[in-house]
Structure 1
Amino acid sequence: MTEIGASNPELPIPLPGGGAGEIRIAWAAVTDVGRRRAANEDSFIAAPPIFAVADGMGGHLAGDRASAAVVTRLAEARTSDFIEPESIERALEKATADIDVISDGSELGVGTTVTGAALTMIDGEPYFAIFNIGDSRVYRYERNELAQVTVDHSLVQQLVESGLITPAQAHNHPEGNVITRAVGFQSQPTPDYWLLPLKPGLRLLICSDGLTGEIEDERLRLHLAAGLSATETASALVDAALAEGGRDNVTVLIVDVVDVIGAHAAEGGADTGITAPRANHRVL
């Protein structure tokens, strides 16, 4: 596995434009190989402006190399405190080329999920650009409510959307590991995007399915609501997944918006009416 970045209890980041505005964020990342896997094929980047988790697939450490390729290319895209979503796509395209080299000769193919949040500016306001390929997830926690932002690219999700199974049945479905979109496998990376305005008190949970495969959403909410620091919360969630069996690698990244100064989005009312830079960007 590859880890890029380290936890930070609070970091001020000035808003572009030379004014007095700034955001303050805190974050922490924790990963574990789990109880049943020989190697950890998860990787993460936790370094502004990008926070992301990648869950590799391919076996014999190829999955590890695939997830490493993604977070390494994302790290190379960090040229300022804020990033355009298009830069994320270019990084994923480079990672796909890297993975094609890694997978040369592989009969099963090599790939990885990736999901995360990138600091971006839309019409002068700070946002998280949430992005996702695969079944790793981003959740947002605000005002004691937890909501899944990303939508899984998986067979089980398709069954839920078609009404063939319920979300409760999806949690332990035998086809739960079958994904329908990934980075690699000789295909063009196609992330979905959501735009989430930064507000004080917003908390993001970014994780591999080693967490969500063990812990249901209500227990996730209770952990996020406990009032612990980002580091304590990430550690507690990984421990909870291990206590439930730890059947997969588990990686948890918590990002907290501590304060937003000099931006209208922090005052409420800027959730709508913002033009997304691309058709597949949705404002939340």
Structure 2
Amino acid sequence: MPEVSTESVAVPIPGGVLDLSWAAVTDTGRRREVNQDAMFAAYPLFVVADGMGGHVGGEIASASAIERLRAVAEGGPVNPKTIEKALARAVKDIASHPDATDDGTGTTVTGVFLDTTGHTAHWVTLNIGDSRVYLVRDGAIVQITTDHSVVQELVAAGRLSPEEAENHPYGNVITRAVGPSEGVTPDYVRLDVLEGDRFVICSDGLTKELTDYGIRHFLDENADPADAVTAMLDAALENGGRDNITIIVLDVGRPAVASPSEEGDESGAADAAASDADAHSSPAGD
């Protein structure tokens, strides 16, 4: 079992300070020989990539996407333009391994980042493929991302019920991925920042083994993010562990209200960050 710990950070946002805590884990599972999942979890970006294609190709694809996104998170700013530029570079990275990758190689890319550049902080989810972002708010769990999969298209068209989709033979067939031949633009969803929110970012290795209700159960039972991801991983392995499993749990704490002088300083910092983001933004591509 991987060793898991909870990390935390206090983030200055317009009007105050936001406390964030998170934990992340990835595991090969019980039936796969290698782990083709990859992840990055550090403020302000929390993202999962689930690779596919050959014995090595999926690992190359997911690692390329995550490393390019890591560079964005560590160098800043994180926004749709810098994300898409990173993914375009990942496409070139994947294509640079023709001996191990082909048209069937690719990776999902799914996650969430905190945007503090405006007058109000917002979460932004991003998604390509069938990894997922869930949000638990006010006691309810909601899947924020929409799967890019054949099964989801059948459900949306009314040709499959959600129950029938659970064990459909095309359950693993996705319709969008970051691959070696072309880039794709993620779907984005913008969300308010609210105290008490809990995000789960996961590959389908978790959702193959746990229902949405099961995910919520382990979140309700485990207040600490490290305990929550460990409990979900244990349950997914117990239920079969048919695929690689990657889970990030991100908790949003109470925003601490800044004093008037601090608020002015933070507002100025936010304006400066926004100006800096505008100055350094460029279209996707190399």
The answer to whether 1:234 aligns with 2:232 is no
Whether 1:182 and 2:180 are equivalent positions in the alignment is no
Contact 2:95 2:101 in 1 (8 A): no
- 1:30 equivalent in structure 2: 25
Aligned: 1:159 with 2:157: no
Looking at structure 2, the residues matched to 172 and 144 of structure 1 have their Cα atoms a distance apart, in angstroms, of 27
Identity among equivalent pairs (%) = 45
Secondary structure at 2:253's aligned position in 1? Answer: strand
Match of 1:10 in 2: 8
Higher RCO, 1 or 2 (CA under 8 Å, sep at least 6)? 2
Shift of 1:135: 0.2
Aligned partners of 2:6 and 2:224 also within 8 Å: no
Structure 1 unpaired stretches of 5+: 264-284
TM-score of the superposition, structure 2-length normalised? 0.84
Partner residue, 2:216 = 221
Structure 2: segments with no counterpart, 5+ residues: 259-286
Q: Which has the higher strand share?
A: 1
Contact 2:19/2:253 (<8 A) preserved: yes
For the 8 Å contact 2:95–2:180, the answer to whether it is kept is yes
Secondary structure at the counterpart of residue 138 of structure 1: strand
Contact 1:82 1:119 in 2 (8 A): no
Shift, 1:228, TM fit: 2.4
Which letter does structure 2 place at the counterpart of 1:12? A
Residues 12, 110 of structure 1: alpha-carbon distance in 2 compared, 3 angstrom cutoff: same
Q: What's the counterpart of residue 128 of structure 2?
A: 133
AA aligned opposite 1:13? V
Number of equivalent positions: 257
SS class of match (1:176): coil
Given the alignment, which residue of 108, 111, 114 partners 1:116?
A: 111
Is contact 1:137-1:206 (8 Å) kept? yes
For residue 187 of structure 1, report the CA deviation from its aligned partner.
Answer: 1.7
Length-normalised TM-score, structure 1:
0.85
Corresponding residue of 1:43:
38
User: 1:157 Cα shift?
Assistant: 0.2
Question: RMSD value over aligned CA atoms?
Answer: 2.1
How far is 1:62 from its partner? 1.5
